[in-house]
Chains A and B, each alone.
Chain A
Amino acid sequence: MSTLTNEVRGSRDDSDAFLARQCAAGSESAFEEIFKRHSGRVLAVAARIVGDRDEAMDVLQEVFVKIHRRIGQFRCQSAFSLWIYRIAVHESLNWAQRRRSKVRPLPDAERVAAPQEAPEEATAMAALQALPPKLRAVAVLRHVQEMSHEEIAQVLGVPVGTARSRLFAAHRRMREALREQRSRERSES
């Protein structure tokens, strides 16, 4: 860890809100600390929504450029992590929708199955990729990031009832995707 980051760690207040204020005042070490704390969850969300590791790395970079640009607008009215999730989900959805409108979708196997993936992981990713991006985001926030309906609603900027009904719709579509995959596997074997 760099000396600059050690300076931030050594200060009495190392809360996210303090780091955000330091960063808004121009501290690069504070921003580096924010990156260290939150990049894992941003990458997890981006990788699951975008469905491609390399593209998720591009999203990660975009998200942190936006966080840096907007950090002065963070007003501590919500948790800093939820504020970051909001930017991460928004950017991932934009990315997924842009790609959907420009690129021919790949077959399931090509799209999600990296060679090192366990079969369970490939099945989970195929089920997620079967969802439209907005439903995928809800499923990821609920079942990968383990958020409550209220937190999901806050991140997406929708009423709690909408978050819940999107989640139920996502469950239904993922069940169907799982069944389709099983029947494909049966017909191939």
Chain B
Amino acid sequence: MSCAEWEDLIEKELDGALPPGDAERLAAHLNACTECRADLADGREVIGLLHSLPAPEVPSEAWPSVREALARTQQRKRSLRRAVLAAAAVLLVGIPAGIVALHQVEDRAPGLDLTVVDLRNGVSAEEWAEYVSDFNEGWGVPFVPAPVVDGPREEDE
């Protein structure tokens, strides 16, 4: 058995999960192999160091800053909700008129590129997905968003 094959037993020993029969075999090998002995000793040392790491103390200002962050998030959510409602209202009122207007515009400028106002501006994909879910639950109106691509937006680059 090569040293690489003993490594599995060394790992089990480090993890405190080495069966007694294997423990005897490993002990016999360790007596004869300095390399595996060093692996076990270094493994024990590094694990011991991790166990002794002191727990960091949570500073007293942490809770107020979390509370402020929550308030900011909720404010942003309210703004987003207002924006979606405004957009929905514009669509409801504007679609019939818009169809007529578009027809007229396209007659004059065929192939005109129409841009939709992007409500996701500055909102992460995750926040947007959660917002959509909240909106559907809160208003009982299915609101199917365009697919969201996570990552830097064109204007960020």
Contact = CB atoms under 8 A, between A and B. Distances in A.
Please indicate whether A and B come from the same complex rather than being unrelated chains. Answer: yes
8 contacts: A28-B67, A40-B55, A40-B58, A70-B130, A121-B54, A127-B46, A127-B49, A171-B11
B58 to A, nearest CB: 5
Interface in A21-52: 28, 32, 35-36, 39-40, 43-44, 47-48
Interface stretch (A7-15, A53-61, A74-82, A154-162): A53-61
B66 A64 contact: yes
Contact of A175 (B46, B54, B67, B73): B46
Interface in B33-70: 39, 42-43, 45-47, 49-59, 62-63, 65-67, 69-70
A179 interface: yes
B23 interface: no
Interface residues of A, number: 42
Nearest to B126: A66
Contacts of A68: 70
B58 A39 contact: yes
A124 B69 CA distance: 32
Contacts of B42: 175, 178-179
B18 interface: no
- Max chain A C-beta neighbours (<10 A), residue from B47, B54, B58, B69: B58
B22 interface: no
A178 B45 contact: yes
Contacts of B55: 40, 44
Of all A-B residue pairs in the complex, the 7 with the closest CB atoms, nearest first, are A124-B49, A143-B50, A168-B11, A175-B42, A174-B46, A64-B66, A39-B58
A28 B71 CA distance: 11
B63 to A, nearest CB: 6
A60 to B, nearest CB: 6
Interface of B: 7-8, 11, 14-15, 39, 42-43, 45-47, 49-59, 62-63, 65-67, 69-70, 73, 130
A124 B65 CA distance: 30
B50 A144 contact: yes
Contact of A65 (B11, B53, B70): B70
Given A127-B46, A143-B51, A175-B43, A32 B63 contact: yes
Given A56-B56, A60-B58, A175-B43, A123 B69 contact: no
Contacts of B67: 28
A64 B136 CA distance: 24
B56 A47 contact: yes
B75 to A, nearest CB: 13
Given A53-B56, A69-B130, A171-B43, A139 B62 contact: no
Given A48-B53, A69-B73, A120-B52, A178 B58 contact: no
Contacts of B53: 48, 121, 124-125, 144
B14 A171 contact: yes
A42 to B, nearest CB: 9
- Max chain B C-beta neighbours (<10 A), residue from A47, A168, A179: A168
